[in-house]
Structure 1
């Protein structure tokens, strides 16, 4: 209850003392002080005082020696009493969002402490006594006033630390951001870097940055890049638009005599590239959006929102390319009002060079003001950077990189990897150290790798097959000498960028989801008893749905119910439909889930989407929960609540909320129980994420994508297929199994691909064995081999039914148990005996499928 009076507080404390309470929640009550009586609560193990207005703590707080968790976030504390050191049982202490400028030395007495949250305070140093916290594994120091790195940190056994948002002389790429944790190895990197830079001479500073040129195809981006590099470059009106990415180097002198290097990234404007471009639209860069005289050709909101989303607070120059000196009319006032990071609007005619010097002057000014520019580098780091710059190759083996490091005074492997990781985060090179394939190569020219990826996604043969391609096709696409022996690495790069996924069961076959059909295939959906969830985006980046498809590709229903903006997932116990509705600038993801385990599947899918959203630092998205009142339940268009609103209700202790449609009060806890809430403390995020990963892994393990009964038969035995299907129909109608045979193939379908897909999703294979079956070359060469292989590797069950006498003993089929006596095949039995056996066979099939 908000605004608790002193008398009410004393009553609550007295009651807790009388009952020997172990937990007490006083959060959000606008408390300005705590009475001395708080010291009577000696049985408390958890005390929540967050979201109040406390400016100090009474010394009696030290009497709560049983406390293991103390929540003091979101108050006005400027200091802690020395008695805090008496709380020796504390394992978790939350002090974020206060006004602490120092910690008392008694903090070192909290030797049981494992988690300490000090985010958003005024701390500039830590007491040396903090090194006594030998169990401390999580420490959050983000957004304080540290200008010097507290070297006492090296004595702590930290597994996770947050240091972002402090004015430290360390590149932000090393410090990370407030959404990510650094581990002990990261901390060692930061400490080593900090100590090394204190020894560096003033001759070694990072004087390099990225200048990214974006805009529609044909607007003049390439012309601008080349004119900046060479003012005498003659424009070619027939010059093709950039495909993919081109990187051009431009250098200019600084006032101190040093040279500044600008890496000009020229991005192709065609839409097919937009999803991949986002991986290189980096923060702490300078951007230029090029618009030309073609009427209404530039999609300003799309490009400027994209820059804001991926580039953070990076400055932007809006270049108005006035071709033929025709004016490029832009509503500058409105754009500046909507996008305040636009620094200048600069008109130019790239053909005659008008305005070019103004552009170069603006680039020189804004790029040298970027946050990390001028950061001191250890001398040997700079030497490695220069050595890589001078290497003319597109990529080098990791062993060659290590040799290069040793030649420049870096002898330890860990430091070599820290350097390549630093350069990777700056976009200077690519080294994916945690990937089992890509860790063995350092890509010196990122544009070389990305253009190889674009060569696949823009290949007409791949486009014709709606994004499906094979490993052999990649060998043809990447046949140039520059890609020799790099096919595995480039394919892995595509998978890392979520640009393709392997088709389960089809070796060396892949799908690029951004080339799938726009229209969904036909599929059935039962709308009753669905759980629903919706994500509404203020600005929706391209490719949210395709990233989700790649992440959960194993669950795509039949590996067929998928399209460019949606997918149906099936884990064997529940189905999820995810549809992306993209409207100009805004958009939404709609999810509905049916089935026995629908809550678990919804939680996993929602967590995957949350992870995708979390990769965009400035994304503005609202999670919406459907109402469960009597009027909304069963309604395909229920009222939706904002998840953040429901969280606020819970924070304030309010457990009922009114549905706007029915005006009925609904229990908030029941609403939020639909999905696991994302409202947990930063310090618990890792544990919560591990929980999701475990749940996801369990679903993959127990409910694989194989979800069909595949019936293999000779067309000469078609009548026996018909007879068996009559008995299986009972199970199919109840949804207890799904059968497939080649009669399902429709006119115009790619019959071979349909069979291959069905084989890849087979859980139980039924073989109707006769001599006609054994004589079929197609069955022998194309159906039996993948089925028998799947039996060995993936647990597929084979059930074979002797239709007639045959030479099965001369084949591998003899290794498997027949469904009935092979000496008495079905053809030799009367109708009643046939039906009796087909009933038993159907039961065996159902039992093998899953009960």
Structure 2
């Protein structure tokens, strides 16, 4: 078996010594993951039961977290095992989606026909899938067709999101449309590029052995022993296989120094631990603070021994769902109050250096990740669910997310000659967080002083600088604005400061900026 014959995910990880994986023949993979997403209460669990058991429960409980169910289908005369992932739609759980929303997956986005596009958060979910699922196929399913037709902009959606394979309507109550949906699932699954991949027999046997273990997790050393028993000797090949199984969704394995000693066999073990923490009234009452002592009260000591508590918290820190305070206490930003501290609200930010990020959709995890990364600079515990105040040397900065407007706003007050460096540090951190979301539409904008409803695209201002354009009329305004007036303080080294001719006119430039500020204040 050549390297080219291996599944693409395998060949993407590293090179492999072919003799150890080619002597025993190949097996068809014949399995895939199907993920059901959508708002809470739209009927994801009921839809899964209709598809698999042909049943409907009028008193179905809302899914808390994630539920996983296996479903065998005959596709192209092959028995295909589908793992159906049922995601709870509650907002508190969205931060954990990055763990489980992956490529090599079919996504079913379930909507409530009685709700509007905005209430279904249709674009939000499509962007979440696009961000973490890449080019994975999507089926949009409108539930409750017995009550009302699905009213969405079908042509526009199909044009904007080419991964949408079909838009279907069903009724979990009556069963209408379920057979058609089942056929579309079969058709879409059969076209997944990896579904009929060949994997080495040795790998298949190790995968099957892990699946049969009656354990929630095992040590990496135990996994290595299983590999050796099946003839996979080299550590590089063992590493390649475990990462392949992680990508496939068979196990959870985090290849970093803090977490790589444990392989999670039963996803529910980790999911239920994290959601027990998120849902804990004890932690909410303690304003989002969790400790090892509180974990002993929240988690079942038999299923979650004390020596695994640090592993769970390490995972939460790795994904920036929490950060360490002191004395082995940790803060979960998502469990903080949404109220802005009164002292922050009363602070005058009108004369601050300002910057904005505008999003087509704004994942809540962006601001909580930022808070986690910058926690050592937080001023007097001025941190809330949507924002934080930082002390950056001689400057005080407020960074706050507005989920209604889909913006993150930055305000920096302090010394004029240092606050732009503070802003540069904030922008660097936010830009690095944006890279986690590869398809996230975001634009940087510079607010116009004394005109809170107006801003200019940052890239447009940079282009004006490069082309020597000194003034610009922002959209919606009639008065020209000095480009350098807006850029002053944004860039640590602007084109004006690099150009010797312009450098000699620095005092003249300062006078122009002063006049411009006075004009804006009129």
TM-score of Structure 1 vs Structure 2, range by shorter chain: 0.7 to 0.9
- The alpha-carbon distance between structure 1 residues 202 and 379, as it changes in their structure 2 partners (threshold 3 A), is closer
Conserved? CA contact 1:214–1:287, under 8 Å? yes
Once the 2 structures are TM-superposed, how far is the Cα of residue 441 of structure 1 from its aligned partner?
0.6
Check if 1:642 corresponds to 2:466: no
- The alpha-carbon distance between structure 1 residues 667 and 270, as it changes in their structure 2 partners (threshold 3 A), is closer
Task: Find the aligned partners of 2:494 and 2:440 in 1 and give their Cα distance.
Answer: 21
Task: Find the aligned partners of 1:321 and 1:539 in 2 and give their Cα distance.
Answer: 24
The within-5 A match list for 1:36-435 is 173=9, 189=14, 191-192=15-16, 195=18, 199=22, 203-231=26-54, 234-255=55-76, 258-296=78-116, 298-322=120-144, 325-331=146-152, 332-333=154-155, 335-435=157-257
Task: Find the aligned partners of 2:464 and 2:200 in 1 and give their Cα distance.
Answer: 51
Task: Find the aligned partners of 2:125 and 2:453 in 1 and give their Cα distance.
Answer: 34
Once the 2 structures are TM-superposed, how far is the Cα of residue 564 of structure 1 from its aligned partner?
0.9
Per-residue displacement from partner, 1:318-347 (whole Å, max 9, x unpaired)? 223237x33443334454455443222333
- The alpha-carbon distance between structure 1 residues 565 and 427, as it changes in their structure 2 partners (threshold 3 A), is same
Tell me what 2:425 maps to: 604
Per-residue displacement from partner, 1:12-37 (whole Å, max 9, x unpaired)? xxxxxxxxxxxxxxxxxxxxxxxxxx
- The alpha-carbon distance between structure 1 residues 637 and 352, as it changes in their structure 2 partners (threshold 3 A), is closer
TM-score for the superposition, normalised by structure 1: 0.52
- The alpha-carbon distance between structure 1 residues 416 and 440, as it changes in their structure 2 partners (threshold 3 A), is same
Conserved? CA contact 2:7–2:199, under 8 Å? no
Tell me what 2:357 maps to: 535
Tell me what 1:512 maps to: 332
The within-5 A match list for 1:582-593 is 582-583=403-404, 587-593=406-412
Per-residue displacement from partner, 1:580-603 (whole Å, max 9, x unpaired)? 1112xx611111223354333322
The alignment partner of 2:293 has SS state of: helix
Task: Find the aligned partners of 1:676 and 1:445 in 2 and give their Cα distance.
Answer: 54
Per-residue displacement from partner, 1:748-768 (whole Å, max 9, x unpaired)? xxxxxxxxxxxxxxxxxxxxx
Once the 2 structures are TM-superposed, how far is the Cα of residue 198 of structure 1 from its aligned partner?
9.5
Once the 2 structures are TM-superposed, how far is the Cα of residue 430 of structure 1 from its aligned partner?
1.4
Task: Find the aligned partners of 1:528 and 1:351 in 2 and give their Cα distance.
Answer: 55
The alignment partner of 2:397 has SS state of: strand
Once the 2 structures are TM-superposed, how far is the Cα of residue 529 of structure 1 from its aligned partner?
6.4
Conserved? CA contact 1:252–1:260, under 8 Å? yes
Task: Find the aligned partners of 1:199 and 1:646 in 2 and give their Cα distance.
Answer: 58
Tell me what 2:414 maps to: 595
Task: Find the aligned partners of 1:217 and 1:396 in 2 and give their Cα distance.
Answer: 33
- The alpha-carbon distance between structure 1 residues 466 and 258, as it changes in their structure 2 partners (threshold 3 A), is same
The alignment partner of 1:265 has SS state of: strand
1:658 to 471, 474, 478: 471
Conserved? CA contact 1:283–1:310, under 8 Å? yes
Higher gyration radius (CA)? 1
Conserved? CA contact 1:470–1:508, under 8 Å? yes
The within-5 A match list for 1:24-35 is none
Conserved? CA contact 2:109–2:125, under 8 Å? yes
Conserved? CA contact 1:646–1:672, under 8 Å? no
Conserved? CA contact 1:289–1:316, under 8 Å? yes
Task: Find the aligned partners of 1:579 and 1:342 in 2 and give their Cα distance.
Answer: 34
The alignment partner of 1:666 has SS state of: helix
Per-residue displacement from partner, 1:367-405 (whole Å, max 9, x unpaired)? 221233333333322322222222232211111111111
Once the 2 structures are TM-superposed, how far is the Cα of residue 470 of structure 1 from its aligned partner?
2.5
Conserved? CA contact 1:242–1:266, under 8 Å? yes
Once the 2 structures are TM-superposed, how far is the Cα of residue 220 of structure 1 from its aligned partner?
1.8
The alignment partner of 1:373 has SS state of: coil
Task: Find the aligned partners of 2:221 and 2:59 in 1 and give their Cα distance.
Answer: 44
Task: Find the aligned partners of 1:532 and 1:414 in 2 and give their Cα distance.
Answer: 50
The alignment partner of 2:321 has SS state of: coil
Conserved? CA contact 1:251–1:259, under 8 Å? yes
The alignment partner of 1:550 has SS state of: helix
Tell me what 1:622 maps to: 443
Per-residue displacement from partner, 1:256-281 (whole Å, max 9, x unpaired)? x5432211100012222122224322
Conserved? CA contact 1:545–1:565, under 8 Å? yes
- The alpha-carbon distance between structure 1 residues 659 and 649, as it changes in their structure 2 partners (threshold 3 A), is closer
- The alpha-carbon distance between structure 1 residues 676 and 367, as it changes in their structure 2 partners (threshold 3 A), is farther
1:481 to 294, 302, 316: 302
The alignment partner of 1:250 has SS state of: strand
The alignment partner of 1:561 has SS state of: strand
RMSD: 3.1
Q: Which has the higher contact order (CA 8 A, sep 6+)?
A: 2
Once the 2 structures are TM-superposed, how far is the Cα of residue 514 of structure 1 from its aligned partner?
0.8
Conserved? CA contact 1:170–1:375, under 8 Å? yes
The alignment partner of 2:169 has SS state of: strand
Conserved? CA contact 1:202–1:376, under 8 Å? no
Conserved? CA contact 2:114–2:147, under 8 Å? no
Check if 1:467 corresponds to 2:282: no
Unaligned runs of 5+ in 2: 474-478, 496-522
Task: Find the aligned partners of 1:397 and 1:514 in 2 and give their Cα distance.
Answer: 31
Tell me what 2:509 maps to: none
State the number of aligned residues. Answer: 481
Once the 2 structures are TM-superposed, how far is the Cα of residue 459 of structure 1 from its aligned partner?
1.4
Per-residue displacement from partner, 1:722-775 (whole Å, max 9, x unpaired)? xxxxxxxxxxxxxxxxxxxxxxxxxxxxxxxxxxxxxxxxxxxxxxxxxxxxxx
Check if 1:502 corresponds to 2:324: yes
Once the 2 structures are TM-superposed, how far is the Cα of residue 646 of structure 1 from its aligned partner?
4.4
Once the 2 structures are TM-superposed, how far is the Cα of residue 454 of structure 1 from its aligned partner?
0.9
Conserved? CA contact 1:657–1:668, under 8 Å? no
The alignment partner of 1:554 has SS state of: helix
Task: Find the aligned partners of 1:607 and 1:370 in 2 and give their Cα distance.
Answer: 38
Unaligned runs of 5+ in 1: 1-147, 150-167, 177-185, 678-851
Conserved? CA contact 1:468–1:512, under 8 Å? yes
- The alpha-carbon distance between structure 1 residues 293 and 530, as it changes in their structure 2 partners (threshold 3 A), is closer
Once the 2 structures are TM-superposed, how far is the Cα of residue 300 of structure 1 from its aligned partner?
2.2
Task: Find the aligned partners of 1:639 and 1:236 in 2 and give their Cα distance.
Answer: 52
Conserved? CA contact 2:36–2:109, under 8 Å? yes
Per-residue displacement from partner, 1:396-448 (whole Å, max 9, x unpaired)? 11111111111121112222122212222333321112142x21110112233
Check if 1:458 corresponds to 2:279: yes
Task: Find the aligned partners of 2:440 and 2:310 in 1 and give their Cα distance.
Answer: 33
Per-residue displacement from partner, 1:635-667 (whole Å, max 9, x unpaired)? 4749644333345557xx524442325443539
Conserved? CA contact 1:247–1:263, under 8 Å? yes
Tell me what 2:506 maps to: none
Once the 2 structures are TM-superposed, how far is the Cα of residue 196 of structure 1 from its aligned partner?
6.5
The alignment partner of 1:576 has SS state of: strand
